[in-house]
């Protein structure tokens, strides 16, 4: 469970660090982009396996990742 919290914290800190920088150009990747109304094409953080993800893609990843580990989390609850 700790790695879930670490990954959420890491990606959120990266977006805060990069929001004041100039627009970025996305590196090529295979996933279809999930779009945000503003800066959806020029603000992203690189995932070590999936490549560049925008904010909405990171939120989707975190939701999927937590659901993936749900059974392990429930087994540890009293």
pLDDT tens track of the chain, all 78 residues?
688 788 888 888 888 898 888 888 876 657 445 455 667 778 888 999 999 998 888 889 989 998 988 888 888 877
The three-state secondary structure class of 3 is: helix
Please compute, for residue 18, the number of CA atoms within 13 A of its CA located in the half-sphere on the CB side.
17
Nearest to 26 by CA among 48, 51, 8, 7: 51
Domain ranges in the chain? Answer: 2-25+40-76
């Amino acid at each position: 469970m700790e790695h879930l919290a670490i990954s959420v914290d890491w990606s959120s800190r990266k977006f805060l660090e990069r929001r004041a920088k100039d627009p970025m150009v996305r590196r090529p990747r295979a996933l279809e982009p999930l779009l945000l109304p503003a800066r959806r094409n020029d603000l992203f953080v690189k995932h070590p396996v999936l490549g560049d993800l925008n904010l909405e893609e990171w939120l989707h990843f975190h939701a999927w990742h937590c659901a993936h580990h749900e059974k392990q989390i429930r087994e540890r609850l009293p």
